[in-house]
């Protein structure tokens, strides 16, 4: 953290942070099936004793592996994060000031999925991963924000005008994986797509304390306007991250099949990429007008009323209000209450997020 003064009342402050967090793992040794034809135990007699073991154990010994090599990683993922934020205020004469604040952050995450075992032929290609594989999800999150405004006093009115912008992106990179339906030519690393969101907001707020000549203890009025523009995007990943083979429909030619003739799993294992059909680029505009009146009617009674009109480009208009009161009965006892209406339009993410998963089901009539 570092800061310094600007003039008699101004300042600039900047803060940085870095975090490197290791992963945790609470998984135990894998005890299930690993290789093909390993379900039936083998019984042998040695040194006058009966020994029973699974073919898996024999094959593991031959390959110089143990069951621990096939365990998934369960727990908190690894993360690396950095951030820098600033805050500043600069006087503009005696009755006004400029202010600004904002920041940048990045966060890289690392997690894994379920182990893809050698016997799961619909998920693996043994020529690429003879011992199966543990797919990895590498995420990149980037955030930015900044606000700029001028606040001042004009003929008894406090006026505050500001502009703010911000956004973030969430990118999915898949490592140590495969698109089993492509076969040996499949990449083992994939760009699985990106989610993005951006927002721009402009505000003008006005506040004044009204002299009532003693009719009430105090009275203040405030009103303002807000304009907001939002944008939500889904960007598709690379073709191999979501495709079934090369995109054709000929089994064994355009896509790899299992020994039973069914197609192997399409898309990057652990997280198939967003497809062009999932791509989104949606905007929303909204305009809001609001006002509030608050008064200490007496030393014991405070009353407040507020209202807001909002118009959304995709959800129409809404009007909401709030009334609140506080009554002090004793210095140690007060009652307060409020009644209000409200409306929140669903976020663009809630409306437009979508993805596609593919699962092949055997027809019971045709096999």
pLDDT digits (tens, 9 = 90+) for 183-237: 999 999 999 999 999 999 999 999 999 988 888 899 999 999 999 999 999 999 9
Residue 90 lies in a domain: no
363: pLDDT strictly greater than 60: no
d(C-alpha 130, C-alpha 121), whole Å: 11
107: pLDDT strictly greater than 90: yes
Residue 233 lies in a domain: no
Encode 125-154: b = buried (16+ Cβ within 10 Å), e = exposed.
beeebebbbbbbbbbebbbebebebebbee
Q: What is the pLDDT of residue 216?
A: 87
Residue 64 lies in a domain: yes
> Which residues make Cβ contacts (< 8 Å) with residue 86, sequence separation at least 6?
12, 13, 14, 15, 100, 101, 102, 103
d(C-alpha 89, C-alpha 99), whole Å: 4
Q: What is the pLDDT of residue 212?
A: 86
Q: Are residues 79 and 110 in contact, defined by beta-carbon separation less than 8 angstroms?
A: yes
Using the structure block, give the residue that is written with the tokens 């690894």: 78
Dump pLDDT digits (tens) for 121-144. 999 999 999 999 999 999 999 999
DSSP H helical ranges for the chain: 55-63, 348-352
Q: What is the pLDDT of residue 248?
A: 87
Q: What is the pLDDT of residue 251?
A: 85
d(C-alpha 276, C-alpha 242), whole Å: 10
d(C-alpha 65, C-alpha 127), whole Å: 18
Domain of residue 37: give its range.
33-72
Residue 46 lies in a domain: yes
Instruction: Identify which has the larger pLDDT, 92 or 355.
Output: 92
Residue 41 lies in a domain: yes
Q: What is the pLDDT of residue 213?
A: 84
Full 3-state SS string of 155-192: CCEEEEEEEEEEEEEEEEEEECCCCCCCCCCCCCCEEE
Residue 324 lies in a domain: no
> Which residues make Cβ contacts (< 8 Å) with residue 144, sequence separation at least 6?
102, 103, 104, 105, 166, 167, 168
Using the structure block, give the residue that is written with the tokens 């009025």: 221
Q: What is the pLDDT of residue 211?
A: 87
Residue 109 lies in a domain: no
* Local structure of residue 63 (DSSP, 8 states): H
State the total domains in the chain: 1
284: pLDDT strictly greater than 90: yes
* Local structure of residue 227 (DSSP, 8 states): E
Q: What is the pLDDT of residue 197?
A: 98
pTM for the model stands at 0.86
Dump pLDDT digits (tens) for 333-361. 999 999 999 988 999 999 999 877 665 55
* Banded pLDDT at 91 (limits 50, 70, 90): very high
Comparing CA positions, the residue from 348, 102, 105, 143 lying closest to residue 231 is: 348
* Banded pLDDT at 261 (limits 50, 70, 90): confident
d(C-alpha 358, C-alpha 141), whole Å: 27
Q: What is the pLDDT of residue 228?
A: 98
d(C-alpha 169, C-alpha 102), whole Å: 17
d(C-alpha 228, C-alpha 35), whole Å: 57
* Banded pLDDT at 259 (limits 50, 70, 90): confident
Residue 307 lies in a domain: no
Dump pLDDT digits (tens) for 70-82. 998 988 999 999 9
Residues 27-34, mean pLDDT to the nearest whole number:
90
């Amino acid at each position: 953290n570092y800061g310094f003064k600007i003039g008699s009342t101004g300042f600039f402050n900047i803060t940085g942070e870095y975090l490197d967090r290791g992963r945790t793992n609470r998984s135990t040794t894998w005890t299930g099936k690993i290789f093909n034809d390993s379900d039936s135990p083998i019984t042998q007699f040695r040194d006058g004793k009966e020994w029973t073991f699974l073919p898996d154990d024999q094959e593991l010994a031959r390959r110089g592996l143990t069951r621990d090599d096939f365990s998934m990683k369960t727990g908190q993922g690894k993360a690396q994060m950095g951030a820098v934020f600033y805050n500043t205020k600069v006087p503009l004469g005696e009755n006004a000031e400029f202010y600004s604040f904002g920041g940048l952050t990045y966060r890289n995450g690392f997690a894994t999925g379920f182990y893809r075992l050698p016997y799961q032929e619909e998920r693996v290609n043994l020529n690429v991963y003879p011992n199966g594989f543990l797919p990895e999800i590498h995420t990149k999150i980037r955030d930015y924000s900044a606000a700029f405004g001028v606040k001042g006093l004009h003929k008894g009115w406090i006026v505050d005008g500001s502009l703010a912008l911000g956004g973030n992106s969430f990118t999915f990179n898949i490592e140590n994986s495969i698109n089993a339906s492509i076969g040996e030519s499949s990449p083992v690393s994939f760009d699985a797509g990106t989610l993005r969101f951006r927002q721009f907001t402009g505000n003008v707020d006005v506040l004044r304390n009204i002299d009532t000549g003693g009719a009430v203890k105090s009275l203040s009025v405030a009103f303002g306007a807000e304009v907001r523009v939002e944008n939500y995007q889904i960007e598709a990943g690379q073709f191999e991250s979501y495709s079934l083979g090369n995109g054709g429909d000929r089994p064994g030619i355009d896509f790899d099949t299992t020994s039973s003739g069914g197609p192997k799993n399409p898309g990057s294992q652990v997280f198939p990429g967003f497809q062009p059909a999932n791509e989104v680029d949606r905007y929303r505009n909204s305009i809001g007008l609001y006002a509030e009146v608050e008064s200490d009617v007496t030393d014991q009674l405070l009353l407040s009323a507020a209202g807001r009109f909002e118009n959304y480009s995709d959800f129409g208009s809404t009007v909401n209000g709030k009334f609140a009161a506080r009554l002090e009965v004793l210095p140690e006892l007060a009652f307060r209450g409020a009644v209000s209406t409200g409306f929140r339009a669903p976020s663009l993410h809630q409306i437009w997020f979508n993805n596609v998963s593919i699962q092949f089901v055997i027809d019971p009539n045709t096999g």
